[in-house]
Structure 1
Amino acid sequence: MRQLGRHAAALLAAAVATGMVASLVQTQVNLAELTALGATFPLSLRAWTTLQDLAGFGPVMIGISFAALLPAMLVAHAIGRAAGPARRAPLFAAAAVAGLWAAFWLMLNVIPMPAIAATRGGLEHALMAMSGIAGGLVYAHMTSPAQRAAQPRRQVLVAALMALVPAALFLITSPGAADKLEAVDPATYRVETVAKGLDRPWSLAFLPDGRLLVTEMAGRLLVIGRDGAKTPIATGGLPPVFQRGGTIGLMDVALDPAFERNGLIYLTMGHGEEGANGTRLARARLENDRLEDVRVLFSSTPKPRAGNNGGRIAFLPDQTLVLTVGDGNWRREEAQNVANHLGTVVRLDRDGQAPPDNPYIGRPGAAPEVYSLGHRNPQGIAVDPASGELLLTEHGARGGDEINQIVAGKNYGWPLVTAGIDYPFGRVTPFSRLAGFEAPLLEWTPSIAPSGLAVYRGDQFPDWRGDLLVPALRGRALHRVVRDGDRIVGQQTLLAELNQRLRDVKVGPDGAIYALTDGVDASLLRLTRP
């Protein structure tokens, strides 16, 4: 029992040492990536960011280290029986490095966890794994024959205190719960279920005859009648759709501004394969519930992961088309690279060409389609029909969800500027505001995961004219963002009583609000006055 206590204490102390060193490495690698984008970090800011990461990311890294070191130390013990005492320290250090390397490999390739900056490249991955040397040496020392006379109870107490301090700092510094927003009185609106049994629907659009088009991520395009009847559209002419669960697949649908004359619709979809995929825009003519004359207009820069695709479409007053493209959730720094489409809004004419007045036309090496950059995962875009203002919602990481007003040629900051932090609680950047980058009109921390956007200009709810409607996946509600002119003055929530993830929202020609719930058994809802 004494021996077990000593080894448990040693393992815990080794995890603490490894986690702290790994946090230091991660912070410096991340700051180096931001420096390469042009940011400058005085020594005081670098030190403060490092301390913040020790408090936030450090405890997470201690947990990862403990899980990685446990099997590694068991293997080292088995091998060590044949090794002499002089080889104990190098053996345990090497085992710890191997354990950390394997853990980070699993996090990158098996466990669906977003990559942190210091595990995305071979050299950085190796540097993080080398953090295990500290833990291996601590473990070797605490379990050495020279320490057998030490009181195991004291060792356990010391190791527990070493772990409790980071845990306390984590609890103190981790983001708190969001302020509870006022709910719109459910008695002031009526919810009708138009259709049920939808399989991961993503978007909807209104046909002139009163029916609705709805996309499902697996590749189906449906027509839904007034009675809720679902009719599949024949989509045999579409190129193959790359689909992975609720992350990427067939996404947005929008009607051409002259649809009643030309019958054209626009669709976005995933394309490519697991290690090289992107967001594609296609156009087709809808005729007799089938797609004809399908044409691929645009394919974004490939990315190595399926996440953060953007995929929303809107038409500007000049009838050019804007399309959101996410940063790909891997090399997020590419959102600052105007040479590709990742983390941008692109602007195209209705034939898929870059208009000659796009802001980066003529810049050497720039992708001519780019309209704005510095976005993470913009999944909502809408034009205010009264003002022509282009508005966008985008997902942050852990916090930092935003509403932005999009202006040609502007930079919206990601990942140099954000109020969010990484999913494992490390700092994405020290900057939540920075000169030269556009500040959001509104941000949500903690995240609500905004997945669409509509500007209300209907007659059903006259008091809401000009307000924004934002469906939330994580927030499980429809947010009414109240505006006074172009200034945001408040928020309310609707549909929170349903406790459903919401995927999209549109304002119908009748002034009713149509919302799609998310998932494999989703519904199309219609909100009207009672």
Structure 2
Amino acid sequence: MTAVLTTAVVGTIVQTQISFAYLSAIGAPTRSGLLAAATAQDLLTFGPVMGAIAGATFLLAFPAGTFVVRHADLKWRAAAFAVAGAIGLWTAFWIMGFVTPMPALVAAVRDPLGHLGMALTGGVGGVVYAYLTRRSLPPLRGSPRRVVIASGGLLATAWTVYASVRPGDVVIPHADPSRFTVQTIATDLVHPWAIALLPDGRRLISERAGRLITISADGTRSSISLASLPGIYRGGGNGLMDVVLDPDFAANGLIYLTMSYGTPSANGTRLVRARLDRDRIADVRTLFESTPKAADGNNGGRVAFLQDGTLILTLGDGLKRREEAQNPANHLGKLIRLDRDGNPPSDNPFVGVSGTAPEIYSLGHRNVQGAAVDPVDGSLLISEHGPRGGDEINLIRKGANYGWPIATGGLDYSFARVTPFRSLSDLEPPLVEWTPSIAPAGLAIYRGISFPEWQGDLLVPALRERTVRRVRREGGRIVSQELLLADRKERMRDIKVSSDGLIYVLTDGPKAQLLRLVPSATRNRS
């Protein structure tokens, strides 16, 4: 256990220093006091995780070192155990990159030098182990049960400490279910991503695997042929994403689709325009392809039209290289603004600025999957995924920086600090922040007639929380929140408001549903 604890402490210190070096490189203010405070918190939250990783690794690495020492008659036994510990930890981090739910669970191992530095902390543990067993070598089999129990205890400690230092859970009231009726419009949808409401009453739904379907008022389902669409990359959670109607759809029949393109090591988000022609799409044109990223996930992919007819496309940070959200030379972690032919408008904030991508409208985003424009005042609002907490709703200002990863209320998936800053004066603060995470996957601004008391409120479908959040606004301020559909316990993916004020909600998963919320007085409405 002493070797495990030593590795946990040293590994945590190294992890924090590497994270701060990344932040410093993108302009974050760094002071010794901040570094010391962040290291102290990481020792409490990330330290147990690091200890559990080290304990599981040493369970195999040190018996291997013992075998080598015995059979090679090595005098430099400390070196043998140091090498065993370092190789074991390097291998453990490498394997974790393939099997953990999120790539780069330990942020410091995202590049080869950081991976090596973290692996060498296993060497420190090996030296300690060699010193403690210097008088006699332990049996080769050791005591795996004790190590497993200790590693599990360290992980439990990490969760307990995290729960004690995170903001307390605020009890959110549930909406009065007597105010609306939930109608099931469609079932057995396969990982749907977005819904668009056609003028003729049909609902147009995209499914991640690369399908586009319509559902008529009587429930009839039809497939739209996408044979002329460019190839879609479907690795991980990638695939076909948003579908949005052109503001002049009734006259021109144009739709906009977003999808992943590329390979596992170089993929991005593509924006395509096409004309909906009965049961197929025609006149397909690729308008934009984002800067490729080196891993699956954090694609963004939402489209919203501003009142001037230009469009906003949300793009994620690429997950493994989150610092790129602060790099104005590429599209990662940005909102971009294009005209309907895919060109950057001349009044974009960074047009003509050397070393910047002219399409950028705002920067410093992690993974924006909700975007909506208020038809009353034209304001653009977005919902954004944080890591372990730090989900946000932001009011977008042209050219502004929203802080990721320099400032956030969230922690890394490994419980380590992303940054010591929750806010900075030159970064835009969120209107709403959610810690713990609710995983906001969409956004709608209610401006309908069916629920007049909801005028101007935000509706946010949440994947992790499995609800739709109604965020009440008064005079542009957030005043309260309540939960809708919590009793269904389903992941919520997208939300749209029809012209008559009814609310359509897409759930998520292999057997997802399309739901419609109607006022109780209109429960029999077709």
TM superposition score normalised by structure 1? 0.93
RMSD: 2.1
- Shift of the alpha carbon at 1:292? 0.4
Task: Give the distance between the partners of 1:332 and 1:435, measured in 2 at CA.
Answer: 21
CA contact (8 A) 1:320 1:347 kept: yes
Amino acid corresponding to residue 25 of structure 2 in structure 1: A
Aligned ranges 1:63-102 → 2 under 5 Å: 63-84=52-73, 86-102=75-91
Distance 1:163 1:255, change over 3 A: closer
Task: Give the distance between the partners of 2:399 and 2:220, measured in 1 at CA.
Answer: 44
CA contact (8 A) 2:495 2:505 kept: yes
Q: Which residue of 207, 230, 236 corresponds with 1:239?
A: 230
Task: Give the distance between the partners of 1:378 and 1:165, measured in 2 at CA.
Answer: 33
Counterpart residue number, 1:213: 204
CA contact (8 A) 2:311 2:340 kept: yes
Q: Which residue of 238, 243, 259 corresponds with 1:253?
A: 243
Aligned ranges 1:328-407 → 2 under 5 Å: 328-407=318-397
Distance 1:348 1:91, change over 3 A: same
**Deviations 1:344-363 (CA, angstroms, capped at 9, x unpaired):** 00000000000000000011
CA contact (8 A) 1:466 1:485 kept: no
Counterpart residue number, 2:451: 461
- Shift of the alpha carbon at 1:43? 1.4
CA contact (8 A) 2:52 2:154 kept: no
Distance 1:45 1:265, change over 3 A: same
- Shift of the alpha carbon at 1:300? 0.3
Counterpart residue number, 1:48: 37
- Shift of the alpha carbon at 1:20? 1.1
CA contact (8 A) 2:504 2:514 kept: yes
Q: Which residue of 163, 188, 213 corresponds with 1:197?
A: 188
Distance 1:161 1:211, change over 3 A: closer
Aligned ranges 1:285-304 → 2 under 5 Å: 285-304=275-294
- Shift of the alpha carbon at 1:117? 2.9
How many matched pairs? 512
Task: Give the distance between the partners of 2:219 and 2:500, measured in 1 at CA.
Answer: 17
CA contact (8 A) 2:55 2:150 kept: no
Identity of aligned residues (%): 54
Runs of 4+ in 1 over 6 A off after TM superposition: 160-167
5+ residue gaps, structure 2: 521-526
Q: Which residue of 507, 527, 530 corresponds with 2:517?
A: 527
Q: Which residue of 47, 52, 60 corresponds with 1:58?
A: 47
**Deviations 1:112-154 (CA, angstroms, capped at 9, x unpaired):** 3331331011111101000012210121122222699xxx99x
Amino acid corresponding to residue 89 of structure 1 in structure 2: A
**Deviations 1:282-325 (CA, angstroms, capped at 9, x unpaired):** 00000112100000000000001110000000000001000000
- Shift of the alpha carbon at 1:502? 0.2
Distance 1:262 1:169, change over 3 A: closer
Q: Which residue of 480, 490, 495 corresponds with 1:505?
A: 495
User: Are residues 1:18 and 2:7 paired?
Assistant: yes
Distance 1:169 1:493, change over 3 A: closer
CA contact (8 A) 1:114 1:423 kept: no
Q: Secondary structure at the match of 1:81?
A: helix
- Shift of the alpha carbon at 1:394? 0.3
**Deviations 1:439-458 (CA, angstroms, capped at 9, x unpaired):** 00000000000000000011
Q: Secondary structure at the match of 1:253?
A: strand
User: Are residues 1:409 and 2:399 paired?
Assistant: yes
Distance 1:16 1:371, change over 3 A: same
Task: Give the distance between the partners of 1:485 and 1:224, measured in 2 at CA.
Answer: 37
User: Are residues 1:180 and 2:176 paired?
Assistant: no
CA contact (8 A) 1:55 1:166 kept: no
Counterpart residue number, 1:9: none
- Shift of the alpha carbon at 1:83? 3.0
Counterpart residue number, 1:517: 507
CA contact (8 A) 2:47 2:158 kept: no
Task: Give the distance between the partners of 1:235 and 1:380, measured in 2 at CA.
Answer: 25
CA contact (8 A) 1:58 1:166 kept: no
- Shift of the alpha carbon at 1:166? 9.5
- Shift of the alpha carbon at 1:501? 0.2
Aligned ranges 1:90-129 → 2 under 5 Å: 90-115=79-104, 116-129=106-119
Q: Secondary structure at the match of 1:281?
A: strand
**Deviations 1:71-102 (CA, angstroms, capped at 9, x unpaired):** 11121122221233622211111000000000
- Shift of the alpha carbon at 1:163? 10
Amino acid corresponding to residue 178 of structure 1 in structure 2: D
Counterpart residue number, 1:493: 483
Aligned ranges 1:243-322 → 2 under 5 Å: 243-245=234-236, 247-322=237-312
CA contact (8 A) 1:205 1:255 kept: yes
